[in-house]
Amino acid sequence: MQALKYARASSVDEAVQMLRDGGPNAKVLAGGTDIIVLARERRRKVELFVDIKHIAEVMALEYDATKGLTVGSATPLYRVYNDANILKHFPALTQSAHVIGGTAIQGRASLGGNLANSGPAGDSITAMMALNGTALIAGPGGRREVKIDEFCTGPGQNVLQAGEFIVSLHFPHPAAHSGSAWERFIPRNEMDIAVANSGTYLVLDGDVVTEARIALGAVGPKVFMVPVDSLVGKPLTDETIAAAGQAAKATATPIDDMRGSIKQRLHLSDILTQRTIRAAAERARA
């Protein structure tokens, strides 16, 4: 490991101060499942780890039937997928949190770390985008909110400015007659990076879709939202679901790599979109 120092922040303000004083080589340490590997393999220069796990707000998990859900940015994934309210009202989040790495990774890894890492295949990110999440960011200039679907700007790139970090993630309470679902495709059953992933949230009025949010990952340089014109205001039928799958495929700009080809990823964009729509609709009707 490269020479580095460790500091424990006890408040949001102290973390901001440490990050600002530490400069560009001061890095937030949440679960460490990405950054410790990157630092050890010297793919990132790190001089200071700022541990944010001793700040109450950053480790929170609060559900309220009107206000919705707030998850601290460093709250470990096992707490997310073990939470009964999240399973009931935000199942897409449960599904994605449960497959990131294995059990020991989930003992540390966090939603904030997955988002800040901003990988095009970040599994929880598409679930959080579908659920219309917002990131609460603190920095030298105070606090601001950024919608999660606008957070990632490119592979490994995002809207965070120098000295800023994510405090928590907020999700509005889902509407009545709504449902959400998330799925990914990987060559093995667990412990691998997605070839494609998809998160969907939709609201039904009888058979008609009144709102839909569909996000795709690993099929472009960053995660993105799929246009939903073919679905919203229309009855949910095999035809409208197929049209949404086509819209997903038309928006995807995947690459060939060792995990999958362009052709396979385009196909998966279509198929996973259709599957998460169907699964979300089933939950909306339940």
Partner 1 sequence: MTTTNSTHFVLSANINGERLEFLADERDSLLEALRERAGIRGPKEGCNNGNCGACSVLIEGVLVNSCLVMAAECQDANITTVEGLASPEGLSPLQQCFLEEAALQCGICTPGFLVASTALLEENPHPTEEEARFWLAGNLCRCTGYDKIIRAVLKAADQKDA
Ligand X SMILES: Cc1cc2nc3c(=O)[nH]c(=O)nc-3n(C[C@H](O)[C@H](O)[C@H](O)COP(=O)(O)OP(=O)(O)OC[C@H]3O[C@@H](n4cnc5c(N)ncnc54)[C@H](O)[C@@H]3O)c2cc1C
Question: Which residue ranges make up the site for ligand X (CB under 6 A)?
Answer: 27-35, 37, 52, 73-74, 99-101, 105, 108-110, 112-114, 116-117, 122-123, 160, 165-166, 191, 193
- Least Cβ distance, residue 170 to ligand X (angstroms): 14
Q: Judged by CB under 8 A, does residue 113 bind partner 1?
A: no
Q: Are 115 and 123 in contact (CB under 8 A)?
A: no
What residue type is assigned to position 205 of the chain? D
Report the residue count for the chain. 286
Cβ distance to partner 1 smaller for residue 23 or 154? 23
| Near partner 1 by CB under 8 A: residue from 13, 24, 41, 257 | 41
123: its two tokens = 């599994």
Indicate whether 107 belongs to the interface with partner 1 (CB under 8 A): yes
> Are residues 231 and 243 in contact, defined by beta-carbon separation less than 8 angstroms?
yes
8 Å CB contact between 254 and 270: no
What is d(CA 9, CA 275) in angstroms, rounded to the nearest whole number? 43
- If contact means CB under 5 to 8 A according to the sort of partner, which of partner 1, ligand X, none does residue 243 touch? none
Report, in Å, the least distance between residue 104 CB and partner 1: 5
Strand order in the sheet with 61-64: 61-64, 68-72, 165-171, 134-139, 142-147
Should residue 262 be labelled a site residue for partner 1 when binding is judged by CB under 8 A? no
Give contact residues for partner 1 (rule: CB under 8 A). 1-6, 8, 22, 25, 29, 31-33, 36-37, 40-41, 47-49, 51, 53, 76, 78, 101-105, 107-108, 189-191
